[in-house]
Structure 1
Amino acid sequence: MTTRRNFGLMLAGGALAGCTTTGTTAPFSDPLQPRGRLRLAPVHVSEDRVIRVVAGLRPYRPGGFVVRAERFGDKTLVHNYGHGGGGITMSWGTSHLALDEGFAGPERDYAVLGCGAVGLATARLIQRRGGRVTIYAKALPPETTSNIAGGQWWPASVFSAKDATPQFITQFEKAAKLSYLHFQQLSAPEYGVRWTRNYSLDEDDLGGSFLFNRLAALAPERRTVPAGEHPFGRSILQYWDSMMVEPPIYLQAMMEDVFAAGGRIVVRDFKSQSELQALKEPVIFNCTGLGAGELFGDKEMIPARGQLVVLLPQPEVTYNLVSNWSYMFPRRDGIILGGTFERGNWSTDEDPATTAKILANHKAMFAKLKT
């Protein structure tokens, strides 16, 4: 599901509410804007502009994702799952760490379970190191959880700070930095990856000071704009740059890369570990996301439902905006509106009340925008 949901609340579980450190406060000087007062094209939020509503389930673990190798009968099993709302964002980084745990050399056969962002990144890294790979998955793009994602690159809603260990935080930081570097190599139209300016209003800063302090280099040109120098009235406004990843383009391009490098994809739904042990590949990378809870007995794994409302595209809107846990991301296939993170909710059906709330929140957000 969407990679950046419920921002600070979902990251910290309320534990970091007192952290208020922000970026540098300075007279407004945005190099992406003409000199003078910041001007932004408004998003036209209305019910008759809705083109689709989708809901998906993030594979959330309060203690954070799992990257770990273990013996699995006569095989090696490498886990790489549980990324919460950061599956796309963290995919290359955790896959890099997973290969460090389980890559057994080139000219070997490897199995990857799952064909979302994490599974595809794992497969491509295996191929880059010379290995032969087969992806086994019960669903392929565009039917994966990764397809139902907003796509902003930022590692929010990945874990709860009160549940994560210091060892995990170290691993998380390393994976985030690795993933950031990998995605920069894919910044091109054919992968649907581009640099985008982000603006956040008031208390929302995509994970709070905890993330920004630890990952400052991953939020370049982060600034706080004084009131009066931006079009949102008395609100506090911050901005920084990150990458946007458009899942429909990105996931299809990644699959094509896997095929072009000689990889195979087999549609198969595994019901038991014994079925996995029957595979011919001696090394298995488990990128099953939410499915790892049942298949491998991970009781920490829970769904975190997210619902998105998509409006007609507006090519003139070229920025991201977040406020009060709501977020807007412009993409080629529409304006993405979101802001839900429902732990324990397994439903992927549209909830009309949630749709109405998302639209109301975004109407209020853009009502502040003075053009």
Structure 2
Amino acid sequence: MHTRRKVLALGGAGLASSCAAARGFSEGLARDLGRAPPHRAVLPPVHVSEERIIRIDVGLRPYRPSGFRVERVPFGDKIVVHNYGHGGGGITLSWGTAKLAVDLGYDPAKPDCAVLGCGAVGLATARLLQERGAKVRIYARELSPNTTSNVAGAQWWPASVYDWRVATPEYLAQHFQAAQFAFRRYQSLVGDAYGVSWERNYNLSDEPITRYPARENDAMRALVVNQRDLEPREHNFPKRYVRQFDTMMIETPLYLRRVEADVRMAGAEIVVGGFENVAQIQALPERTIFNCTGLGAGALFGDAEITPVRGQLVILLPQPEIDYNTIAQEGYMFGRRDGIVLGGTYDRGEWSLEPDPQAIAGIISGHKSIFGAMRA
């Protein structure tokens, strides 16, 4: 197959004139139909190399096949409101499931509330409680930058949250309700202060794209912005099928620091320390407890369904010109300001936080195959 450069080098007058005629015809037809001819977006490639790696991040997603758990249950003379098990959608869904949990559990007559956990879900829950008038104390084993949320890729879109084969219609309705609220809340945080920005995404595939980011009959389709399937001449990716859509990106280190500061400024106390058993939780002075412990809920509250899903990220030196994201079979790339995030691993049942050299090499080689083949 000839590239455009090779065709020009051949100097075939007949071929060149026929190409010009075809181009003129298509552009004229587009004008006649009231449309501009397709514009080719020549995107800059990511420079993928081992020399540009600045760190490797490993995190454990708290995954439940049936989906996240938001539930109010009696807890001796107290109540506990569970809010955990978000899989790969913890940051995305945090404000939404926090809203569900607060609606279920907050009683203005009992304003003292405990929040267990200080990741994205715990912080969002604490902040919404404060907005209702609650007096909040957070108990956490780890604070930012040592939480699972800090090592999330943090594209706003819920991914790997549940298994569609076991999720109930009731759960799916709750999932959409949480996503819808979170979608609006994050829009209010767009800007440098919270590290939230709109970016363009490109889903790359060798096969027609029908499922990502959402099927046409999925309620989540209502939250997809500016989706369009591109023609091959409209992009310079080495894939036949490319779907673009816009969504938000969250620069997690900045975002988490800012939300924690908001919570503290609104009067919350943060107590650092973990719990070994539920008796220690029952001894807390607060009557209403919001459990946002993620994977810790398995041991503390006997949730046998929750399991870790390990994700590994390669962070490259920032490239200011990379203001887009890609999602492909080879992995995903998020063009954040604090670094280029390369990911795509999904190790279910793996508890180790040690990087897997083979997986890291796979992430690097997969992205080299994409960005090294981008057309000029």
Same fold flag (TM > 0.5): yes
Alignment of 1:225-240 (within 5 A): 225-240=230-245
**Partner secondary structure for residue 337 of structure 1:** strand
* Kept after mapping to 2: 8 A contact 1:228/1:234: no
1:339 corresponds to 2:341: no
Match of 2:265 in 1: 260
- Matched residues in 2 for 1:246 and 1:102: separation? 30
1:51 corresponds to 2:54: yes
* Kept after mapping to 2: 8 A contact 1:191/1:250: yes
Shift of 1:325: 5.0
Shift of 1:213: 3.1
Match of 2:375 in 1: 370
Whose Rg is larger? 2
Q: CA RMSD in A?
A: 1.7
Alignment of 1:188-337 (within 5 A): 188-202=191-205, 207=212, 209-210=214-215, 213-337=218-342
Structure 1 residues 325, 281: closer, same or farther in 2, change over 3 A? Answer: farther
Shift of 1:366: 1.1
Structure 1 residues 89, 271: closer, same or farther in 2, change over 3 A? Answer: same
Structure 1 residues 151, 313: closer, same or farther in 2, change over 3 A? Answer: same
**Partner secondary structure for residue 218 of structure 2:** helix
Of 51, 74, 79, which residue of structure 2 is paired with 1:76?
A: 79
Match of 1:126 in 2: 129
- Matched residues in 2 for 1:88 and 1:141: separation? 14
Match of 1:116 in 2: 119
Shift of 1:300: 0.5
Match of 1:165 in 2: 168
Structure 1 residues 208, 240: closer, same or farther in 2, change over 3 A? Answer: closer
1:155 corresponds to 2:158: yes
* Kept after mapping to 2: 8 A contact 1:231/1:370: yes
- Matched residues in 1 for 2:96 and 2:238: separation? 39
Letter in 1 for 2:44: A
Shift of 1:322: 1.0
Deviations 1:282-309 (A, max 9, x none): 1000000000011001010000000000
1:65 corresponds to 2:71: no
May I ask how many residue pairs the two structures share in their alignment?
339
Tell which has more relative contact order, 1 or 2 (C-alpha 8 A, sep 6+): 1
Shift of 1:107: 6.9
TM-score under structure 2 length normalisation? 0.87
Shift of 1:124: 0.2
Runs of 4 or more consecutive aligned structure 1 residues displaced over 4 Å after TM superposition:
203-208
Deviations 1:180-221 (A, max 9, x none): 011111111110101111111115778554488321221111
- Matched residues in 2 for 1:350 and 1:186: separation? 33
- Matched residues in 1 for 2:231 and 2:257: separation? 42
- Matched residues in 1 for 2:84 and 2:217: separation? 24
Shift of 1:352: 1.0
Shift of 1:316: 0.6
- Matched residues in 1 for 2:210 and 2:88: separation? 15
- Matched residues in 1 for 2:255 and 2:216: separation? 25
Match of 2:45 in 1: 42
**Partner secondary structure for residue 330 of structure 1:** strand
* Kept after mapping to 2: 8 A contact 1:107/1:132: no
Letter in 2 for 1:351: D
- Matched residues in 2 for 1:206 and 1:36: separation? 25
Letter in 1 for 2:77: D
